[in-house]
C-alpha cells in the first residue's frame, strides 16, 4: 500500500479518536511527522490539525 493510500485511511483515525497526531502518524506507518503532514495535506487539502476542527 502506498503512503498516499494509507494517508486516506488516516482521515478515519483523525475524526474518530482523540489520539495525538503523532500517534496517528505512527499508526499509519509514517516515521516522519512532517512528511505525514505533507502527504495528508495533498490527500485532504488541509493539515491533519485543521482536518480535526
Please give the model's pTM, rounded to 2 decimal places. Answer: 0.70
Domain total for the chain? 1
Rounded to whole angstroms, the Cα distance separating 21 from 7 reads 12
Who has greater pLDDT, 46 or 11? 46
pLDDT (tens digit, 9 = 90+) per residue, 17-36? 788 888 888 878 888 888 88
Domain that holds residue 7: 3-52
Give the model's confidence band at 8: pLDDT under 50 very low, under 70 low, under 90 confident, else very high.
Answer: low
**8 A C-beta contact, residue 47 and residue 37:** yes
Burial 6-26 (b: 16+ CB within 10 A, else e): bbeebbebbeeeeeebeebbe
* Domain containing residue 11: CATH number: 1.10.10.60
Amino acid at each position: 500500500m502506498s503512503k498516499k493510500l494509507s494517508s486516506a485511511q488516516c482521515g478515519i483515525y483523525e475524526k474518530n479518536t482523540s489520539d495525538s497526531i503523532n500517534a496517528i502518524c505512527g499508526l499509519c506507518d509514517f516515521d516522519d511527522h512532517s512528511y505525514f503532514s505533507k502527504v495528508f495535506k495533498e490527500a485532504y487539502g488541509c493539515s491533519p490539525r485543521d482536518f480535526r476542527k
